Structure 1
């Protein structure tokens, strides 16, 4: 997969990827709106160019409160994110599946798992969901994406989150052409298990 060419679809306002981005950004904005007073830690796994968060931070009133870490393996995509990122947003070039990258910033108020679940096995999706209580603080929000093609795993993923102490907030309609899900953590955060890989991308 040429991920840089894939990201070019964001610039086409008619593309499904562009419309998915708008949906994700709307949910990021809402998550920041409801964040409690004080610092707002955010992590983004497989962050790409960082558009999910960086576009929102340009004018969000909680911008100064956000402390974020974006992790992206592709050096060119990471460089593009780093060029745009404000001072309080750290961009790490590395394997986003490795839990060590999130030490010091979890449990977070917003956890972005976008562009992942459509590229890994269902077992790895379940493993990542199971680890989400290590990433998200009580009351925090996980925003994730997954295509709605058959087999449609979105309902199953929702169930996995709910089994782990998350409550359903919003899921895009199946006929939207893309899948975006939002869950809010109501449980107690678990200690981060370091030295662990949560997923591997399936060659495509």
Structure 2
């Protein structure tokens, strides 16, 4: 999978990815609007080209309050994100080219007020989805918003992901309609943040194409 050209579908206004992107961006805006006054921290795991975050921050009233870290493994995508952030004058956005699954890359940025896990849960095993949800209590401050995505193809794991979050002290704030063709979830952390365990791997990014092939051969 070429993860740079994968982003091209975002430029097609009626594509599934473009429609999902608009929903995620709206949820980020609402999360920023709901945050208390003062400095904020936002982290994005597997951030790609950062379109969801950067397109919101560029004209949001809280843009100068938000310290942001985007973590993306593909250097071509992270370079595009860095260029967009620089062009928009978003000086508090840090783009890190690294494996977003490793907890070390969030040192100094957690617990965060907004955590994005978009484009991950459809590309990792179910066990790793649950493991990543478990780590969210280390990434989030009390009251933080987690925005996540997952496709709704059979077997639809969106309800199960909601259960995993809700078993760990996250209240469901919003969930996209099943008929939308994609899943976007928003959960609010009501628990007490745990200390970040350094040197840990939250998940292994496999890719939805590889997972689909493996499922078909099983």
Which residue of 1 is the match for residue 30 of structure 2? 30
Which residue of 2 is the match for residue 114 of structure 1? 118
Q: Please state if 1:61 is matched with 2:65.
A: no
Q: Please state if 1:175 is matched with 2:187.
A: no
Where do 1:117-128 residues align within 5 Å? 117-128=121-132
Where do 1:7-86 residues align within 5 Å? 7-85=7-85, 86=90
Q: Residues of 2 paired with 1:196 and 1:105: CA distance?
A: 16
Q: Residues of 2 paired with 1:147 and 1:12: CA distance?
A: 18
Structure 1 residue 84 displacement after superposition: 1.2
TM-score, normalised to structure 2's length?
0.93
* Residue segments in structure 2 that go unaligned for 5+ positions in a row: 211-218
Structure 1 residue 154 displacement after superposition: 0.3
* Runs ≥4 residues deviating over 4 A: none
* 1:149-176 deviation line (CA, Å, top 9, x unaligned): 1110000000000011000000101110
* 1:32-72 deviation line (CA, Å, top 9, x unaligned): 00011111100000000001100000110000100000000
Q: Residues of 1 paired with 2:141 and 2:25: CA distance?
A: 20
TM-score, normalised to structure 1's length?
0.99
Q: Residues of 2 paired with 1:5 and 1:76: CA distance?
A: 10
Question: Which protein has the larger Cα radius of gyration, Structure 1 or Structure 2?
Answer: 2
Of the candidates 93, 97, 103, which is equivalent to residue 93 of structure 1? Answer: 97
Which residue of 2 is the match for residue 141 of structure 1? 145
Q: Residues of 2 paired with 1:199 and 1:56: CA distance?
A: 27
Which residue of 1 is the match for residue 199 of structure 2? 195
